[in-house]
Structure 1
Amino acid sequence: MGFGPLPGAPDSSIVLVDGLWTHRTVRANGIALHVAEAGTGPLVLLLHGFPQFWWAWHQQLSDLAGAGFRAVAVDLRGYGASDKPPRGYDAPNLAADMAQLVNSLGENDAMVVGTDLGGLLAWTMAARHPRVVRSLALVGAAHPLRLRSELASRAGGQRRASAYALRTFQVPRRPEGLLARDSRYVRQLFDTWTGPRWRGTPGYLADVERYAEAMRVHPVAYCAAEYFRWLVRSMVRPDGRRFADSLRVPIAAPVLHLHGEVDSCVLPSTAQGSGQYVAGDYEWRVLDGVGHFPHNEEPELISGELLRWAKLH
């Protein structure tokens, strides 16, 4: 992978935070995936984004389990306590990880909830693996074709908002150094992307430090960068065009789409319009004063919306 662990780097055990859930490892698509699981009932699969890990959903894990659902938050490939192979960070393969995880958990389908990159995978699952997606909820995540369109456009602001992915993360070793060296870069990202109500609170500071420390686990920084390298570079390659074509299939699953009004990472104007790719029920809601992390900034609100959608569908 081109670099080794930095002195003082933690190991993956730091993500095994105790709580009202059980930690275990599940094999899917040829790798071992760490999950935190709580409750019994219909499966709700929770997919984190960058720069987080399964802990992003700890409040929703408890709330969903308490309401009669089997809630499972997974560390995506390359993150947390899941396997971190050198390859396999293209969206089709990552979505296959999650689709096979549903079956490895002994279930036929799931309500799939995704934020940020986890949202991109949730959209992809619904298009490419529709039989395992009972319903869909997106939190701060545009449909991949909307995102690709805005990244290719010089007129909108998404290219500026995504400069970290389009430029910084394309430079060999640079993002690995920024993410793994210390907490400053991760803290800067959170400070930029978070809405004003959560930013700077004691809970915010503790969570950001936890996410920054998890990013220092070797080789998470490399794996996280590989997601963005594929997303950007594939836009002009045949594999990227095939991926885009596969997403033009209208999504049959009902979709709940929640987005922060002041999200400066994935702009609301980018996410708006994602409903054109949905054939089933579609709800779009903008959350006043909320940034890129609604599940953390307004956890009770998000839990309530997820429970409403899960009971409805």
Structure 2
Amino acid sequence: MHGFPEFWWAWREQIPALAAAGYRVAAVDLRGFGASDKPPSGYDAPTACDDLAAVIRSLGASRAAVVGHGLGAWFTWSMPALRSEVTGAIATFSMPHPLVFQRAAWRHPLQWRANTYIRAMQTPFAPERQLSPRRHAVARRLRDWSGPDRSWITDEVLTRYEQSMQVPFVATAATEYYRWLYRTRVTLPGWRYLASVRAPIEVPTLLVHGADDPAVLPALAAESHGHVRGPVQVVTVPGAGHFVPEEAPAATTELLLGWLSAYHPA
């Protein structure tokens, strides 16, 4: 599962390598992003997990290793608690455990400052307008969240992500996810969700974070270790920012292949 402001194409470097190693790979567009359906509701973690479980079963599999980046990693963390029957292992990129992120979002000054964009998304209408091409919000987000080497942000990357955000209702869907994420601490469904993800994670877990991630503090990855009871591996990628799979594609592929070969042999 991809993050914001991306779609399935974010995993373009890993898909052929994992398939060549013998794995069946499915990179999805989150509900509302890219070519997926864009219903008026359902932009929350429980629904995202239900969507992914349905995709896994529709492909004829009973269990899968779930991999997510950014916003998609938030839902990946949620899968063992909400859809444990289809979750064999999880790998998360650039996102700590939801409880760790929620705590840091309110109590850690640096993460509070980094979350300015999330608070800005709570207003009506304005966030969607900010994602229009003339505002260059997508390009700014890619650059601001990247590590020091921004050579990966080519004209093709900018064009694809800006065009995908211009598909009707994509900007609204993306904003709705962040509105839900921010309000989990103050709504009854949010409290129920946070209570459900308190259960220790028993499946094999891989945590990957860019050492120079300005959007999500790298230190939060280590704090997430305490929410995992099963086998866990924490990796920091030097020089990478928030978009690890695209900033360090070779390292990402190597990490995934090594991790999968140990827990899910092809």
TM-score, scaled relative to structure 1: 0.82
Q: What's the secondary structure of 1:134's corresponding residue?
A: strand
Paired residues of 1:196 and 1:289 also in contact (CA < 8 A) = yes
Which is richer in strand? 1
Structure 2 residue corresponding to 1:106, chosen from 57, 60, 65: 60
Is residue 90–residue 206 contact of structure 2 (8 Å, CA) maintained in 1? yes
Q: Which 4+ residue blocks in structure 1 deviate beyond 3 angstroms? A: none
Q: Which amino acid aligns with 2:113?
A: R
Unmatched tracts of structure 2, length 5 or more: none
Kindly indicate whether residue 36 of structure 2 is the aligned counterpart of residue 82 of structure 1. yes
The aligned residue for residue 179 of structure 1 is: 131
- Deviation for aligned residue 1:271: 2.7
- Does the 8 Å contact 2:221/2:234 carry over to 1? no
The match for 1:27 is none
Q: Which runs of 5+ in 1 are unaligned?
A: 1-46
What is the 5 A alignment of 1:1-313? Answer: 47-153=1-107, 155-166=108-119, 168-182=120-134, 184-197=136-149, 199-201=150-152, 204-313=154-263
Over the matched positions of the two proteins, sequence identity in percent amounts to: 41
What is the rounded CA distance, in whole Å, between the counterparts of 2:258 and 2:221 in structure 1?
22
User: Deviation digits for residues 253-297 of structure 1, max 9, x if unmatched?
Assistant: 100111001101111122321111111001111111110011001
Aligned-pair CA distance for 1:51? 0.4
CA distance in 1, matches of 2:208, 2:131: 28
The one-letter amino acid paired with 2:248 is E
Number of residue pairs aligned between Structure 1 and Structure 2: 263
The answer (yes or no) to whether the contact 1:183–1:212 under 8 Å persists in 2 is no
Cα deviation digits, residues 137-178 of structure 1 (max 9, x gap): 11111110001111121x431111011002x11111111111
Find the aligned partners of 1:256 and 1:163 in 2 and give their Cα distance: 28
CA deviation profile, 1:97-151 (whole Å, cap 9, x unmatched): 1122111111001111000010000010122211211111111111100011111
User: Offset at 1:93?
Assistant: 1.1
**Cα deviation 1:10-47 (Å, max 9, x = unaligned):** xxxxxxxxxxxxxxxxxxxxxxxxxxxxxxxxxxxxx0
The Cα shift of 1:240 comes to 0.9
Q: Offset at 1:183?
A: 6.3
Letter in 1 for 2:93: V
Q: What TM-score do you get using the length of structure 2 for normalisation?
A: 0.96
C-alpha deviation, 1:206, in angstroms = 1.9
Q: Which residue of 2 aligns with 1:38?
A: none
Q: Larger relative contact order (C-alpha < 8 A, sep ≥ 6)?
A: 2
